[in-house]
Amino acid sequence: MRDLASEFFRRHPELSLAALGAADNARAMDLNPLGCKAEFFAAESHPELVALYRESNALAFPGELSLPGWVLSDLYLLPGAIGLLTCEARVLDIPVRKRLGLRPDDRAIAAAYLGAPTIHPGTFIGVSLLSLVPRVLAGAWVKALTLRMLGASRLRGVAQWQNPSVRVHTRMGPMRVVSSVPGTHEFKAKSFVYESDLSDEATWSSAMQRRYEGPIDAKIQATDHDELGRVLARAEQGERILIIPPGLDAQGRVLLRFEPS
């Protein structure tokens, strides 16, 4: 993973790794994940970066998934930190740059990710993965490096079956299907809870390179919510069901493996 991370930044010198959170949280983080130096920005001292993150997040998650300011303060910045890949705004596509009101030499956010802490040691909840620079694996790398900064050994999150982000999530390794989404999530009907085991770096590295191999037991169209609902029911009853990298095939089908409990 260290070699892969080094190669990523060698190929993309325009990107820099950073973290944004409450000042006191820097002491608890690894700011040299996989040998990549991260700059920590205390949210209390950098309100302009906080505002830029919120605007970038709104661009990626408009409408009903828009991030309220109090959630950003209380649940993102205060308990943890947001991992960032930053760049000069000229790296962004011109329409994106204009929507954010940035000049070419302004600081911009290329990709961002939040790993929210849980009551289970080493387990984090993945939230708000965004990338504004397509085709360079910025989303996968900001997620991987943020999780390393946080010292995560296990990840849980909510994903939508047909969202292309499933391809990014499986760069962390196979996704175990856990359950339907608790509560009143706006996209509950087409979402699921997943879990990734981050403790095996060899598996993680293989998945990042798309070298993961293994049998595929079923391919279910990501829009077939009835059939995927039955998959969720089986998972909730204790069956071990994995989404195998790359997660979705070219026909938009979810790639599944069923393992003994």
Model pLDDT for residues 193-233, shown as the tens digit of each residue: 999 999 999 999 999 999 988 899 999 999 999 999 999 99
- In three-state secondary structure terms, 115 is strand
Q: How many residues does the chain have?
A: 261
Residues whose CB is less than 8 angstroms from the CB of residue 128 and which lie 6 or more positions away in sequence, other chains included:
57, 60, 61, 67, 76, 112, 113, 114
**What is the SS3 assignment for 32-73?**
CHHHCCCEEEECCCCHHHHHHHHHHHHHHCCHHHCCCHHHHH
260 band by pLDDT with thresholds 50, 70 and 90: confident
Domain chopping of the chain, boundaries: 1-152, 153-261
CA distance 88 to 15: 8
Of the candidates 259, 235, 243, the one whose C-alpha atom is nearest the C-alpha of residue 179 is 235
Bridge partners of 117? 124
pLDDT digit string (tens) for 116-171? 999 999 999 999 999 999 889 999 999 999 999 999 999 999 999 999 999 999 99
φ and ψ of 58, to 5 deg: -65, -30
φ and ψ of 217, to 5 deg: -95, -25
pLDDT digit string (tens) for 6-27? 999 999 999 999 999 999 999 9
- Structure-block tokens of residue 146: 């943020």
- Structure-block tokens of residue 229: 């609902």
CA distance 236 to 244: 19
Of the candidates 207, 208, 175, the one whose C-alpha atom is nearest the C-alpha of residue 191 is 175
pLDDT digit string (tens) for 38-74? 999 999 999 999 999 999 999 999 988 899 999 999 9
- Structure-block tokens of residue 191: 């979402």
Of the candidates 226, 228, 229, 230, the one whose C-alpha atom is nearest the C-alpha of residue 248 is 228
Spatial strand order in the sheet of 175-179: 39-42, 16-21, 81-88, 107-117, 123-131, 154-160, 191-197, 175-179, 240-248, 253-259, 218-221
